[in-house]
Amino acid sequence: MIHALGVGVRAGGEVLLAPVTLHVPAGHVVAVSGPSGSGKSTLLKCLAGHLRPSEGEVRIGGQDIWALSEGRRAAFRRAQVGQVFQESDLLEELTVAENVALPFLFNGLGRTEAMERAEAVLADVDCHRLADRRPSTLSVGQAQRVAVARACITQGRVLLADEPTASLDRANAMRVGRLLVELARARGLAMVVTTHDPAVVALCDQEFPIMVRSGL
Ligand SMILES: Nc1ncnc2c1ncn2[C@@H]1O[C@H](COP(=O)(O)OP(=O)(O)O)[C@@H](O)[C@H]1O
Ligand SMILES: [Mg+2]
């Protein structure tokens, strides 16, 4: 589903990411590990279509995403790629349920149906009591569970998570980590998660360690 073929990034004569080849089939969860500065976030940005690699190719579901125009790449990302970041990126102007409904609205559902589905998703992740709250009133663990749920409900087949548990305490890190992996498996998503945390790595199907830059 996700194929990164020799994907590398250089800028100003520096190697930000030494070339990486990675294959992630549907339903498979890969943990990208490595020290800070090794290029984990840079790799995810290349996979998500946010940062053009200086070399190599990114294929998602057979599509070479960097061969698309910028507009088509953005549309492809909206349709295919769920993303989770270190800090949950819920919109403060919206309630929790409205935040979760957004992907459904983008996909063309009417408001009533989108809100009903959002409430069902929140119930699935034990957050239905939070539906009418504003994101800033949630704990970081609750906010990250909502962000994970939202990322998993798109019609897409791919989930990219950049250190999604790094801001959480141990108990919440494990809860969010398990939720991510369970949702990805249940939905048959191809998932790449970056993490420093061996306990999160242990939840995944495979570890892909990125070595410190080789200084090419
Ligand atoms: N926008 C940027 N411009 C220049 N260098 C950057 C930029 N973003 C990240 N870097 C550098 O790229 C390298 C890899 O960073 P990053 O992918 O964030 O690593 P990680 O996520 O593994 O901590 C680091 O040396 C970092 O300083
Ligand atoms: Mg990073």
pTM of the model: 0.90
Q: Is the CB of 41 under 6 A from ligand 1?
A: yes
Q: How far apart are CA 100 and CA 162, in angstroms?
A: 19
Closest CA to 192 of 57, 36, 9, 47: 47
Indicate which residue's Cα is closest to atom 4 of ligand 1.
11
Indicate which residue's Cα is closest to atom 3 of ligand 1.
11
- The structural domains of the chain, ordered by start, are 2-209 (3.40.50.300)
Q: Is the CB of 195 under 6 A from ligand 1?
A: no
Q: What confidence tier does 4 reach under pLDDT thresholds 50, 70, 90?
A: very high
Q: How far apart are CA 149 and CA 146, in angstroms?
A: 5
Q: Is the CB of 36 under 6 A from ligand 1?
A: yes
The mean of the pLDDT values for the chain is 92
Q: What is the CA radius of gyration of the chain?
A: 17
Q: Are 65 and 59 in contact (CB under 8 A)?
A: yes
Strand, helix or coil for residue 96: helix
Indicate which residue's Cα is closest to atom 8 of ligand 1.
42
19-75 pLDDT tens trace: 999 999 999 999 999 988 899 999 999 999 999 999 999 999 999 999 999 999 999
- Amino acid code (one letter) for 140: V
What percent of the chain stands above pLDDT 90?
Answer: 74
- Amino acid code (one letter) for 30: V
Whose structure tokens read 């403060």? 92
Indicate which residue's Cα is closest to atom 11 of ligand 1.
16
Whose structure tokens read 């070339």? 19
Q: Is the CB of 8 under 6 A from ligand 1?
A: no
- Which ligand 1 atom is at minimum distance from the Cα of 12? 4
161-201 pLDDT tens trace: 999 999 899 999 999 999 899 989 988 999 999 998 999 99
Q: How far apart are CA 74 and CA 24, in angstroms?
A: 21
Alpha helices in the chain (DSSP H): 40-48, 70-80, 96-106, 111-124, 140-152, 170-186, 198-203
CA 44 to chain centre: 8
By mean pLDDT, which of 7-16, 145-154, 164-173, 196-205 is the weakest? 145-154
